[in-house]
Amino acid sequence: MKSSVIFTGTGPILILTSYESLTNTDFIEKLANKGIRKFISAELPVEKVKEKYGERFNVIMEDLHQTDDLRVLDYNGHNIFANFSFIELGKPTYYEP
């Protein structure tokens, strides 16, 4: 399980995914299906995300399949930035087709 902030052209989103890699071809395709074709991603510790989002995290996790799945936990950039500092973000990954 991974948690990541995806910086898109319209702002950051916080996602949970069962993909092993944020550069997996199928993961990239799922983002493209949501209109996200170019992005910067930075992982966050899943436990930190769970701590901040509580019950909402649990509800999203119940809906997340074991493999090859992606769920948006938060799409409010102000909220994401309020909940996490930049120091908590992992090394950024850049994707451009």
Q: Which of 22, 4, 13 is nearest to 95 (CA)?
A: 22
Task: Indicate the SS3 state at residue 16.
Answer: strand
For the segment 58-73, what is each residue's pLDDT rounded down to a tens digit? 888 877 665 558 889 9
Average confidence (pLDDT) over 4-25: 93
When pLDDT is averaged across residues 15-37 and rounded to a whole number, the result is 92
pTM: predicted TM-score of the whole model, two decimal places: 0.89
Give the chain's mean pLDDT. 91
78 within 8 A of 12, measured Cβ to Cβ: no
Compute the C-alpha angle 55/78/67, nearest 5°.
45
SS3 59: helix
